[in-house]
Amino acid sequence: MVDQKKTAGNLQRTKSRHSFWQTFWKYRVLTLMCLPAILFFFLFSYMPMPGIYVAFVKYNYRDGIFGSRFVGLQNFQFLWESGKLLTLTRNTILYNLAFILLGNFLAVFTAILLNELQSRWFKKVSQTMMFLPYFISQVLVGVLVYNLLNYDTGFVNQILGAMGKDLWQPYADSKVWPVILVLIYLWQQTGYNSVVYFASICGTDPAIIEASKVDGANAFQRIRYILLPSLKPTIIILLLFALGGIVKGNFGLFYNVIGTNSLLYDTTDIIETFVYRATMTDFNFSSASAVGLYQSVVGFVIVMTVNYVIKKIDPEYSLF
């Protein structure tokens, strides 16, 4: 009886092992097609993960990550007690909130206005112009901003000078940068972001809009009661997705516009710029990794929460 069971179990196991290899062999070509991608993400995303351990040691170059002295949470403790972690988190989140809320508001606004315009030619040309900032490198964005704002040759100061006003020195004044950075972001992204909303408006049934006109709805009523409600699901989903990334900063923008101008750090230093400097300038890998790990963990929790919320609202749109 016992023997029989055993044999049956063995048989079952050999069979399943057999069928595993069978399946594996049957789909070998598809697996082979995935192999470059698997290898890529393994090498560049998973291989660095054990290195997170550097956040828990006092790193020195000679001993490497795993030979350096283990210090537990000391790196985190230092960043916390110095108030650095709090400042970085605050800056990153507040900038992102402004980017997300104003960005989506302006994108919806632009899409609705574009939809109201009649001239095809005008729509095409203006949309092409509005796309331009999206296609350029962040390095060039830094140059453009410098051309407008620098003290000696900048465009803004030329105008102020011509009007006989005092010249402006924004690169020495940290208070003005939250506004400037948000404006730059909106300048660069609004044209591109409005595309999703514009496409969504174009997808609404023209018969409904036509009917509302026949019923005597004016343009504001049309926007308020037809267009905006039809955009509502898109707006909510895009807002939630964006909120999922609220602790991820826009490194390219901040690094190219602010760079290493330490006069401006208290209002413009975000997690990414701090980590970059700690890694590349100070070679303080332990501190950099501590902040990075903190960011990844918080980010992960937020994405999971957001995904849970989206799943409740509409499972169609959930990430996984």
The residue whose two tokens read 């992960």 is 300
3-class secondary structure for the chain? Answer: CHHHHHHHHHHHHHHHHHHHHHHHHHCHHHHHHHHHHHHHHHHHHHCCHHHHHHHHEECCCCCHHHHCEECCCHHHHHHHHCCHHHHHHHHHHHHHHHHHHHHHHHHHHHHHHHHHCCCHHHHHHHHHHHHHHHHCCHHHHHHHHHHHHCCCCCHHHHHHHHCCCCCCCHHHCHHHHHHHHHHHHHHHHHHHHHHHHHHHHHCCCHHHHHHHHHCCCCHHHHHHHHHHHHHHHHHHHHHHHHHHCCCCCCHHHHHHHCCCCHHHHHHHCCHHHHHHHHHHCCCCHHHHHHHHHHHHHHHHHHHHHHHHHHHHHCHHHCCC
If one asks whether residue 317 binds other proteins (CB under 8 A), the answer comes out as yes
The nearest distance, CB 200 to other proteins, in angstroms, is 9
If one asks whether residue 262 binds other proteins (CB under 8 A), the answer comes out as no
Considering only 104, 190, 250, 268, the residue that binds other proteins (CB under 8 A) is 190
**Which parts of 192-211 interact with other proteins (CB under 8 A)?**
192, 195-196, 199, 210
Considering only 7, 12, 14, 40, the residue that binds other proteins (CB under 8 A) is 40
**Which parts of 276-315 interact with other proteins (CB under 8 A)?**
276, 278-280, 285-286, 288-289, 291-293, 295-296, 299-300, 303
If one asks whether residue 66 binds other proteins (CB under 8 A), the answer comes out as no
If one asks whether residue 163 binds other proteins (CB under 8 A), the answer comes out as no
> For other proteins, which stretch binds (CB under 8 A), given 10-18, 37-45, 95-103, 262-270?
37-45
If one asks whether residue 148 binds other proteins (CB under 8 A), the answer comes out as yes
Build a one-symbol-per-residue string for 89-128: x at contacts with other proteins by CB under 8 A, - elsewhere. ---------------------x--xx-xxx---x--xx-x
If one asks whether residue 166 binds other proteins (CB under 8 A), the answer comes out as no
Considering only 8, 11, 33, 179, the residue that binds other proteins (CB under 8 A) is 33
Total number of residues that touch other proteins (CB under 8 A)? 103
If one asks whether residue 179 binds other proteins (CB under 8 A), the answer comes out as no
The nearest distance, CB 263 to other proteins, in angstroms, is 16
Handedness of CA 286, 292, 298, 300 (dihedral sign): negative
If one asks whether residue 168 binds other proteins (CB under 8 A), the answer comes out as no
If one asks whether residue 220 binds other proteins (CB under 8 A), the answer comes out as yes
The nearest distance, CB 315 to other proteins, in angstroms, is 11
The nearest distance, CB 5 to other proteins, in angstroms, is 29
| Nearer of residues 6 and 278 to other proteins, judged by Cβ | 278
Letter string b/e over residues 298-319, b meaning 16 or more CB atoms within 10 A of that residue's CB: ebeebbeebbeebeeeeeebee
If one asks whether residue 29 binds other proteins (CB under 8 A), the answer comes out as yes
If one asks whether residue 80 binds other proteins (CB under 8 A), the answer comes out as no
